[in-house]
């Protein structure tokens, strides 16, 4: 064992010397003293900040009221040239009611392989929560989001965010809304990476194109 490792382990043992052997982490309440809210933004300012940060991450941001959502989805799918779209089991049926009848609606099936999902042009989902300060969309496998892989394999993701009820300002506020045991996907812009010369490549481990639709007034259409 290296001397450096032994020194680290010795410090850990000293730090734990007064801890009862049968004590578990869940037995001790840890005070979380960090701030959950940063600043005094209004609801409108928080939503505007979300839109700004999403765009900064190269997501395409659209704003619409609930009645205009089906027409907007139709237009965006047509503009992308989509001939098929993945549909989570709990996606409100009215969202895609205006789409071209020739558009194939592909259900989220557990048996589908990554190769089969890769043949689908687009996916439409809701979200669990959106974080303004980081420009992040969080999915947790809810009925209108489906399984994690349906938003990682198709090249085009359309994500609907209910405004303002699904928008929070900070990460601590978002964590308070999420269930730790659920499968979570945190998305800040389209999938991307950079090489050593900072050349950006999109679509590495997720969609090349992320379009976020901020819907005012609910989405029960």
Q: Where are the alpha helices (DSSP H) in the chain?
A: 3-15, 43-56, 69-80, 114-117, 171-175
* Helix/strand/coil for 18: coil
- Per the CB < 8 A criterion, the answer to whether 173 and 21 are in contact is no
The CATH homologous superfamily to which domain 39-216 belongs is NagB/RpiA/CoA transferase-like (3.40.50.10420)
Mean pLDDT in residue range 2-14: 88
| 152 or 198: which leads in pLDDT | 152
Contacts of 19 (CB under 8 A, 6+ apart): none
CA distance 163 to 218: 7
* pLDDT tens by residue, 163-181: 999 999 999 999 999 998 8
* pLDDT tens by residue, 69-128: 999 999 999 999 999 999 999 999 999 999 999 999 999 999 999 899 999 999 999 999
Mean pLDDT in residue range 184-212: 76
Token pair recorded at residue 116: 């089969």
pTM: 0.81
Is the preceding omega at residue 153 within 30 degrees of 0, hence cis? no
Give the confidence band of 38 by pLDDT, cuts at 50, 70, 90.
Answer: confident
Q: What are the residue ranges spanned by the domains of the chain?
A: 39-216
CA distance 62 to 215: 8
For tokens 């840890």, the residue is 30
Q: CB atoms < 10 A from the CB of 182, how many? A: 11
Contacts of 95 (CB under 8 A, 6+ apart): 69, 70, 73, 124, 160, 219, 221
């Amino acid at each position: 064992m290296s001397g450096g490792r032994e020194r680290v382990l010795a410090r850990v043992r000293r730090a734990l010397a007064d801890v009862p052997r049968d004590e578990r982490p869940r037995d001790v309440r840890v005070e979380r003293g960090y701030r959950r809210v940063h600043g005094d933004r209004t609801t409108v300012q928080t939503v505007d900040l979300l839109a700004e940060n999403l765009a900064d991450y190269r997501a395409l941001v659209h704003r619409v009221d609930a009645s205009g959502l089906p027409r907007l989805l139709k237009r965006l799918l047509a503009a992308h040239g989509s001939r098929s779209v993945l549909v989570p089991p709990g996606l409100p049926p009215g969202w895609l009611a205006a789409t071209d009848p020739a558009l194939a609606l592909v259900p989220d099936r557990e048996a589908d392989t990554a190769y089969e999902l890769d043949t689908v042009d687009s996916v439409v989902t809701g979200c669990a929560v959106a974080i303004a300060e980081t420009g992040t969309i969080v999915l947790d496998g809810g009925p209108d989001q489906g399984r994690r892989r349906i938003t990682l394999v198709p090249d085009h993701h359309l994500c609907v965010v209910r405004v303002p009820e699904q928008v929070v300002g900070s990460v601590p506020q978002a964590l308070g809304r999420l269930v730790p045991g659920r499968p979570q996907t945190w998305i800040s812009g389209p999938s991307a990476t950079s090489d050593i010369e900072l050349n950006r490549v999109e679509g590495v481990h997720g969609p090349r194109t992320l379009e976020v639709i901020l819907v005012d007034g609910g989405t029960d259409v």
